[in-house]
Structure formats: structure tokens, C-alpha cells
Amino acid sequence: MKTLRLITLTCAFVVGPIVVSAQDNMKLSYDRPAVEWTEALPVGNGSLGAMVFGGVEKEHLQFNEETLWAGKPHNYAHKGAAEHLAEIRSLLSEGKQIEAQNLATEEFMSVPLRQVPYQPFGDLYLGFPDHKNYTAYHRELDLSNAVSTVSYQVDGVNYKREVFSSYPDQILAVHVTADKSRALGFEVWMDALHEKKEVVTSASSQTLKVKVKDGALRGVASFKVQTDGEITTSKGRLKISNASWADIYLSAATNYVDFNDVSGEPEKEVEAILGKVDGVGFKAVKERHISDYRSLYDRFKIDLGDNGRSTTTTDRRIYDFWKDPNDPQLVALYVQYARYLLIASSRPGTKPATLQGIWNPKLNPPWFSSYTTNINVEMNYWPAEVANLGECHEPLFSLVEDLSQTGKSVAREHYNADGWIAHHNVDIWRGAAPVNASNHGIWLGGGAWLSSHIWEHYLFTLDKEFLKEYFPIIKESALFYSQFLYEDPKTGYLISSPSNSPEIGGLVAGPTMDHQLIRALFRSVIEASAILGKDQAFAEGLKEMLPKIAPNKIGKHGQLQEWMEDKDDPDNHHRHVSHLWAVHPGNEINWEDTPELMKAARQSLEYRGDNGTGWSLAWKINFWSRFKDGNRAYSLMHRLLSPAEEPSRKIRGGSYPNLFDAHPPFQIDGNFGGAAGILEMLVQSHLGKIELLPALPDALPKGQVAGLMARGGFEISMAWKDSRLESVEVLSKKGADCTLQYKGKVVEFKTVAGKKYKFNGELK
């Protein structure tokens, strides 16, 4: 995929009367060190991440490198599984669900049954034994430059530490200073949780070598110290003394090359990376880091007002938001924090963000810290396009490309079909077969949902070269489903079987979500075929199949049915609401074309309720935004931004002190999904037009935003006051026709690529 980097280093966006400041208060700040991991602050460059605890006597940086996983190259497909497909379908058709699940467990599941976890790499420690009695402590993460800072005072000397993870230099950098000459002294060393580990210390550097238990991967991490003081070694540690400053540069790598190749040479890679920063100087390294980071971050600005709470520490603000959700600046901060996390965990050339981004401290992390495709990894990328970070979407496309290879054998062995398929979970070895248990692991939507991200990127960019490059992948996904769908003996419709509605109801025939995903995929392939003038006969075949796929249905409770049968339970408050996919992120169900289905979908969401885990709350924010109920969406934002571990809340979900989303435990998808939901309140473009402030809540009566992207290759900047649009500017990047809508007003106009179009609040 082509990568465009736009460097914007000005301090403000100016759009007619709109001036969106650089917002120096886009910071997470604290008045004490972190004790728990979910209080530490994340830094990352897409592949190398760390959690900065900000300790005084002992600083701890727990670090990860994205390719250190358990396991080894492996094809998870179950040979001969397809021989049992017809019997499983028949059992489901006869209502024998338990028998179908038992047969699937024995003959249809992945080999082995479970995938493998993402691993922590190591720990970098800095020891300051004489700094016990400190004052004036401050810890922060500045989102505007992606630098974490700790400062405090001991015996009249001001000490400061800066930490960041640099994408251009591929290092973790730590800069330690004292404002009194030769007053700085500390120790530095590494360790790891792995059983197989080795630490080698030399005159000014240290190397940590780890080997994953029962796996093929090993990792090497090295740091070098530069200082104006003295360096000695003792008991496996480097000791810096009589210094005014010291710089620590750390690099880490593994022998992972790709899902089939573990022949990498991490020793050479780490040495080469560190060699490039030798003698460069911290100032130059930091400037390169900030320039690169801001080329992405500065494209987008948001200002929702500040009522003074931004001067309070972030942990306290989260608690206060629970008591009174009147902190618009915290909402804006939450959006920018999600953008920061996406830049930090997903850059071109890296792997996509996992369930925990790139930050994981455990050898056995929750849900393996893997790629869960029945919503979670997709949710990670919901803000990518709209928040002007299209390049950060690229690692997900690379994952889809890998799965289009490993998923071919699964399609053949499990379904006797061409094309490719992915089920509900994926690891670094790109396992695409159904895993864990037949009652929830045989879910058929992974390939279709992931393919939708390719189509969405095209809709936002209108990049035909990108579409041409990835069209074969989404076509092969559609090819699988065109052969997998079969005629339901009861209704005559084409249905998806066996499958499930994620985590609810067990193994079934014809879950609504599958059919929504497949129809969306078929339509995108049909449209892409017309745009590119390719594979039109195949596209015609998909057109013929579309009306034969089981349709969305309204049930006896006025709900959108989750299954073929009308068996939804209004008292089921499960966190998954998968059958509303066609409302969001899909668009098949909407107020304009299918109002009755939209009402039924809203009824389903009412039945499910407002409680939920972190990512579930985030999805519901997006749903209510699509329903154009901004106040209901904001009430869920209230829950998402409330403290995760406040016992008296008595509900799940929320935010940890470092603003990480709580499932609980930590999952990063809620951060991304929640931010996307906020932006969905401000702009929606999923129906071929750009609707402004479609779900603006009463809690956000004024604001300004610049650099917000809309489908059709448009960049939106606008301002509103007293809950009414004041002005809007549209930058056309591709010269497409544009339709703007605000309340009952609509304006249609042709555009020229590169030209800006300005309107007042009346769209005049």
C-alpha cells in the first residue's frame, strides 16, 4: 500500500472563523508514581512498546516487542473436517444442536484446539537509591509529542526523565537529567519473566536474551548508555555516577520473519539499530521522533471546551466524571489518546494492534492477547480512517493478506471450498481454523468483516491503485462464501451453516450477523468489480445470489431477529449485539432505506441494556450515534469513562487510571471504539453523503474540529456553538461530488481535487 506522510507542524488549523488550537493540555498527568500496570503510561512505535511506571527510587519500564509469541509456524487446519460438514448441517437442521456441537468438537476443530499467546519481552529498571525523600513529583504523557515525562526534586536538585519510543530510529529512548552539575547517579539493568534468559553486561551496554517456553522464538534486547558522567559495572548492573545527564537507548528484536519463517538474526538487527544512534545525541533523536509522530498526530484537532477540570490529575478526573460527566475536555482527550495509541501500536511495516495493542506484562495474558476477529481487532481500527490515520490501518491489511494464504487450506479442508476463510481468533502464525470450542469457535464472519476494512479504506481515500492491489483478496473471500452458502431445507434461502452469533446461542444454522456480513462483502466486490472493470462475470453471479440470502427479520418482540428462528430473549443482556452489525459498522440497516428494520434494531439494543464490558459499551456508543440519539450515546460514554475498579459502581467496563479501557481486564479495543463513537456523533458519511452533527449530545454544546475524514475523499473542519453548526469547510482530496446535510438542509456540489469549500451554519 502506498503511504503518504503529511507533516503539519503549525500550531493551529484555521478554517474561516474556525481556529482549533494545538491544545497543549492534551496530556495525561499524575501526582504520584504508578503502582499497578494499569496506572503506568504507554509509549510505542508500532513494534516496540513500554509501560512507564514513573517510580522514583526505582523506575520500571516493562517492554514488549510485537513478534515475541509462543508457538511456531503451524497450519491449524483439521484435515478431513469437510467430510463431516453435511452431517453437522443436517443435525442443526433437525434441531439436534448438542449432537452437532459434539460432532464438530470431535471432527471439525483446529489442530491443536487452542492458539498461542503474545509474550512480554523484558523489564528495564533504573535505580535511584538516594531519592527516597522527594518532593514536587509530576508524571505525564504528552500526546502532542508522544513523550512521557517524570520530574521531582531531591535535596534542592531537580531531576527529570523523558521516555519515548521512536519509529524512525526503532528504539526506546530514556533521557535522565539533573539541573545541578554532576548530581546524577543511578543504576540500570534488565530482567525478564521468561524461564530461559541470559543477561550479558559490558562497559556501557547490556544485552538480554530470552527464549519462549515451548516455542520457536527467541528475543534479543540491548541497551547502550551515553553520559557525561562515569560508567562502571557491578553485579550485572551499569552504574552511572558524577553525571548531569545520561541517555539510554534500547532496541529489541526476535528471529520471527513471517508466519512461515523463523530464521531471523535478532543479534545483528539490534546491533545495527543501536549503531545508527551512536553519537547522534538525544536532541536529534528526539527531534526525529517528534517530527515523525506529529506528521500523523497533527492532522487532526478537536476542542470541545474546557471547564477547568483539565488542571486535575487524570485519575481524579475519571473518578469525577463518574460523579458528574461534565468534562468536555476529557472527552476530547479520550479521542486524541485513542489516536495516540493507534500511532503507537500500528504503523506501516508492523503487525496490527492486538487485544492489548502492543502492551502486555503476562506470559499467559487474557485471551492470549491475540487477534479476535468477531469484533475486537476490527474495533481497533474503527477510528483509523475518520481520525485521519489511514496509514495506521495498513498493518490490518497485511494481516488480511496473510490470512488469505493460511485461510485457503482451512477453506479446503473444512468446507471443501475455494477462496479463504478466517474464524473468530488469529495468532501470529495466522491460524484461521475454528478454535477453543465448537459452540462459539465455529464463526464464519472473520473473512468478510476483515475484508470490509479494505473496502472502507477505499471509500475514504478513493485510491484505485490500493483497490486494485487488494481486490483479489476480497474477491477470494467472496468466492469462499459463494460456495459455502447452502439452501436451507426449511425456507429455501441461502444460509450460513454451521456458525454462531458470537458467544450467544451455541452452534446454529443461519445467524443474522453472518448474512449481513456476506451481503456487505458481495456488494463491495460487485462495486469494486465495476470500478476496476475486472471479474464482472463473477460479480454478476454474486448479484444473482444476493436476494437469495436469508434476509433480516423482525420478531415477535419487535426486535431484529438474531437467528433464523424467532427465539430472542428480551431478558438476555449479553455484551455481544452482533446482529446489529448492519447498523454499525455496516450500513444496510439505516433510517433512510430501512426505517422499520432500524426501529427493530433499536428495540434489540434496548433489550440488551446499557451495561457491558468496555468494548461493548464502545460499540453501543456507535449504535446510538447511528440511531441519532446523542444523549443516549453520551450516557454510555459516561460509563466508559468512569473508574473501572470502583466497587460501588457495581457494573463492568470503564477506564483504568491510565485511561486504558477495561473489559475488565484491560483490552484496548474499547479505547478505539469509544473514540470512534464520539466522532460518529460529529460526522457520519456511511450513506453516500456527509451528515454534520447527526448525534450531538447536549453535553457537548460547543466545539471545533479539524481534519476529520469522510468517505469520498473529504476532510472536514467545522465549529458549532449553542448546539448549532456555525461553519464548515470541506477539503476535497479526489474531486468527487459532495453532498452535505445538516438537520433538514442539504447542499450538493461538484468539487475539484485540492480545493476547499466553505459554508456557514445554514450551508450557504
Read off the pLDDT of residues 469-503 as tens digits, 9 standing for 90 and up: 999 999 999 999 999 999 999 999 999 999 999 99
Residue 3 has pLDDT above 60, yes or no: no
Q: Please tell me the distance from the alpha carbon of residue 648 to that of residue 676, in angstroms, as a whole number.
A: 28
Q: How far apart are CA 674 and CA 307, in angstroms?
A: 22
Model confidence band, residue 56 (pLDDT cutoffs 50, 70, 90)? very high
Buried b or exposed e, range 125-155, using 16+ CB within 10 angstroms = bbbbeebeeeeeeebbbbbbbbbbbbbbebe
Share of residues in the chain with pLDDT > 90 (%): 94
Please provide the average confidence, as pLDDT, over all residues in the chain: 95
* Omega before residue 472 within 30° of 0, cis: no
Closest by Cα among 440, 522, 508 to 478 = 522
One-letter amino acid at 380 equals: N
Domain spanning 703-760, CATH class: mainly beta
Q: What is the mean pLDDT of residues 135-153?
A: 98
Cβ–Cβ < 8 Å for 366, 355: yes
Q: Which part of the chain has CATH 2.60.40.1180?
A: 703-760
Residue pLDDT, tens place only, 630-678: 999 999 999 999 998 777 766 678 999 999 999 999 999 999 999 999 9
Nearest to 166 by CA among 148, 184, 181: 148
Look up residue 119 and give its amino acid. Answer: Q
The pLDDT tens digits for 23-46 are: 568 999 999 999 999 999 999 999
pLDDT tier for residue 20 given thresholds of 50, 70 and 90:
low
Mean pLDDT of 98-102: 97
Residues 707-758 pLDDT 10s: 999 999 999 999 999 999 999 999 999 999 999 999 999 999 999 999 999 9
User: pLDDT, tens digit, for every residue of 447-465?
Assistant: 999 999 999 999 999 999 9
3-state secondary structure 259-327: CCECCCCHHHHHHHHHHCCCCCCHHHHHHHHHHHHHHHHCCCEEECCCCCHHHCCHHHHHHHHHHCCCC
Q: Is 544 helix (H, G, I), strand (E, B) or coil?
A: helix
- Distance set, CA 65 to CA 266, 268, 570 (Å): 12, 16, 44
Nearest to 89 by CA among 81, 79, 97: 97
Q: How do the residues of the chain divide into helix, strand and coil, expressed in percent and rounded to 5?
A: 35, 25, 40
The answer to whether 121 and 219 are in contact (CB under 8 A) is yes
pLDDT at 10: 30
Tell me what pLDDT residue 285 has: 98
CB 429 within 8 A of CB 71: yes
Summarised one tens digit per residue, pLDDT across range 550-591 is: 999 999 999 999 999 999 999 888 888 999 999 999 999 999
Q: Give the pLDDT band (50/70/90) at residue 179.
A: very high
Q: Give the type of residue at 131.
A: H
The answer to whether residue 181 scores a pLDDT higher than 80 is yes
Query: What average pLDDT does this structure show over 409-436?
Result: 98
Closest CA to 125 of 193, 56, 175, 187: 187
| Residues comprising the chain, all counted | 764
Residue 529 has pLDDT above 90, yes or no: yes
Q: Name the strand (E) or helix (H) holding 132.
A: none
Helices 394-415, 464-484: crossing angle, 10 deg rounding: 20
Confidence of residue 386 (pLDDT cuts 50, 70, 90): very high
Backbone angles phi, psi at 384, to 5 degrees: -55, -50
Span 263-319, pLDDT tens digits: 999 999 999 999 999 989 999 999 999 999 999 999 999 999 999 999 999 999 999
To 10 degrees, what angle do helices 512-532 and 464-484 make? 140
Residues of the chain within CATH 2.70.98.50 domain(s) are: 27-69+120-298
Return d(Cα 161, Cα 277) in angstroms, integer: 19
In a 13 Å sphere around the CA of 350, the CA atoms on its Cβ side amount to: 28
Domain 27-69+120-298 has CATH 2.70.98.50: yes
Cell numbers found for residue 197: 534468559
pLDDT, residue 21, reads 53
- The whole-number pLDDT of residue 492 equals 97
